[in-house]
Amino acid sequence: MKNIFSLWTMSGLLIAFCFGPVATGADLMPKQKPKGSPQPTALEEAPQPPLVETAAILGQAPGLVPKAPQDFSIVNVAPEPPTPSLAPVAPQVTTQTIVVADPGTHAELDRLAAEIDALKKDMPKKPDTKKAWAAPKIGGRLFIDSVNFMDRDNLSGVRPDMKNATGFRELRLGASGSGYDSFDYKIELGFHPDAGRVALVDNWVGVKNVPLFGYVRAGHFKPETGLYYPMGSTNISLMEYTTPSNIFGLGRRIGISSEHLFAEDRIRLFFGVFQGAGTDMDRYLRRDNQGEIVNLRLTAAPWFAQEGKCVLHLGGHWEYVSTHAKTATLETTPGTFAFGIAKTLQAAGFANDHSNRGGLEFAYQNGRFSARSEGFVGSFDGGEHLYGAYIELAYFLTDDYRSYDLKSGAFGAPKIKRNFHPYKHGDWNLVDSLGAWQVVFQWGYTDMSDWRETHALAGDQNDFIIGLNWFWTPQLRWVFEYVHSEQCVGTAHSHRSQDIFGTSIRVNF
């Protein structure tokens, strides 16, 4: 009996070892600790979740552990409350609404953008007053003229010095530049044909943006006595200024001037004060009574398009001239320059304290075609009057035109699309462009008839000129002209005439 009980006990232990402990109802009941045992901690007092037997868990995974025999019961233990799972959040998609504006809105935006750009350009920039003089620009001009008289009717005995001539009409060197954000200058000397003397030409300094006075210039330069005379010999249409422009011109004087521009540079006002006596050959004038000239010129360009290709110019000028020696001399040549040629009209050394002179200006240019005209009048304190006028018509045979400068109120060098260009190709010298060609017609009239009674060469003169300009570049040209000049002089109204052929090669740089 004792052996049977021992065998039974060992069998039970073997089964328990193989299948593990099985929870029963008694095992689920709380156990009482014996007296004298230590007090439970807070962790021990907390209710613990029931343990799930290994066999029970493994029994739920088929194929891993053999099922427990049916003799053993598996206690169902309440599972822990499931941890709430975080559901995946759908990504947020940002949408952008595109609004298509109508064409009118686009146009308005373009207009506003253009206005903003214009405002940025007009914003004054901080001046760089520390910037020194920029490198000067070296310049000059060289004119080689030839004048040949084809006919000198009734002048061979009166003016034996009226002869053919060839030589350097102009020979100048100079420099110009700017600096310190506000100043500019020009220095120019001319080698005069009289015994090789050096003459003062343009020598001045200018200041920009002067309060109340605009652009101020001081030095030796020309008063502005019309449209044609301020253009300078480099930009006149033919070999010489028109006769009335020349006789009403005052040459260069020492003085100071002010220039203002209005209405987007379309209107220009010039005012200057100069000494009456010239200093072309001397650097100073030592005389108590030097005379004075007050000069005013107003010009406008009501039509200015395509950067000066189309221009309408209107203007007027006035000069008050006080003579230093209380005398005056008026004289002119037969429509051209000929190295000290005899004068065809002349009233020399007549008494005069002062005179008032003025004129009106008109010019129209539309592409290749241009027309210019001026009228002059002068009133002298002895009651005499001097009159003059001219008309000029010009046309480019090539598709070119003359430039127009709003800041000076005058025409400048031509705008040429293709310069004269000879080149070498292999053994041949070829030309791929002939430059620009322009034909010019001028009529000029000068009247000093009020001095007929006292001066034998006083009277009136008409000049008719046909010319051709061959522009190799805007600064290099070959000029050809034919001049027919007529005079009616003295109390006998003697008629005289000259026919002249002239040519000139002119370069300025």
DSSP 435-462: -EEEEEEEEEEEE-GGGTTT-TT-EEEE
Q: Architecture of domain 139-508 in CATH?
A: Beta Barrel (2.40)
The rounded mean pLDDT for the chain is 82
Torsion of CA 357, 227, 451, 150, to 10 degrees: 170
For residue 16, what pLDDT is reported? 47
Torsion on CA atoms 45, 49, 54, 59, rounded to nearest 10 = 160
Of 102-106, 156-160, 202-206, 455-459, give the lowest mean pLDDT range. 156-160
Mean pLDDT of 114-134: 73
What pLDDT shows up at residue 197? 81
Residue 110 has pLDDT above 70, yes or no: yes
pLDDT level of residue 222 (50, 70, 90 thresholds): very high
Pairing, β 327-332 against β 345-351: antiparallel
Write out the two tokens for 401: 């035109």
**pLDDT tens track for 391-403:** 999 999 999 999 9
pLDDT of amino acid 340: 61
At 505, list the tokens.
């090669």
Question: How far apart, in whole angstroms, are the C-alpha atoms of residue 102 and residue 7?
Answer: 104
3-state SS assignment for residue 114: helix
Report the C-alpha dihedral over residues 225, 231, 236, 237, rounded to 10 degrees: -90
For the cut 80, the answer to whether the pLDDT of residue 147 exceeds it is yes
- Alpha-carbon distance values, 280 to 190, 283, 319, 354 (Å): 9, 8, 20, 21
pLDDT at 113: 87
- Site of tokens 């370069």: 507
- Find which of 25-29, 117-121, 440-444 is predicted with most confidence, using mean pLDDT: 440-444
pLDDT recorded at residue 453: 93
By mean pLDDT, which of 41-55, 86-100, 402-416 is the weakest? 41-55
Residues 6+ apart with CB under 8 A from 507: 141, 142, 475, 476
Using CA atoms, how far apart are residues 234 and 314, in angstroms rounded to an integer?
22
pLDDT at 210 over 90: yes
- What is the reported pTM? 0.73
Residue 419 CA to residue 209 CA, distance in Å, equals 37
Residue 84: CB atoms within 10 A of its CB come to 6
What local confidence, expressed as pLDDT, does residue 317 receive?
A: 98
Query: What pLDDT score does 96 carry?
Result: 56
* Residues 430, 118: Cα–Cα separation, whole Å: 47
pLDDT at 18: 44
pLDDT at residue 264, rounded to an integer: 93
pLDDT at 58 over 90: no
- pLDDT at residue 71 above 70? no
Statement: residue 42 has pLDDT above 60? no
If one compares 17 and 350, the residue with the highest pLDDT of the two is 350
pLDDT, tens only, 274-320: 998 887 777 777 777 888 999 999 999 999 999 999 999 999 999 99
Q: What is the pLDDT of residues 226-267, one digit of tens each?
A: 999 889 889 999 999 999 999 999 999 999 999 999 999 999
**Could you give the maximum distance between any two Cα atoms of the chain, in Å?**
189
Give the separation between CA 280 and CA 192, rounded to whole angstroms: 10
Check whether 482 has a pLDDT greater than 60. Answer: yes
pLDDT in tens, 438-457: 999 999 999 999 999 999 99
What is the domain partition of the chain in residue ranges?
A: 1-23+50-69, 139-508
Of the listed ranges 29-33, 312-316, 337-341, 476-480, the least confidently predicted one is 29-33
With CA atoms as reference, report the closest residue to 252 among 217, 212, 226, 279: 279
Judged by average pLDDT, the poorest of 18-22, 338-342, 479-483 is 18-22
What are 152-191's pLDDT values in tens digits?
765 544 455 578 888 888 899 999 999 998 999 999 999 8
Give the pLDDT band of residue 51 (cuts 50, 70, 90): very low
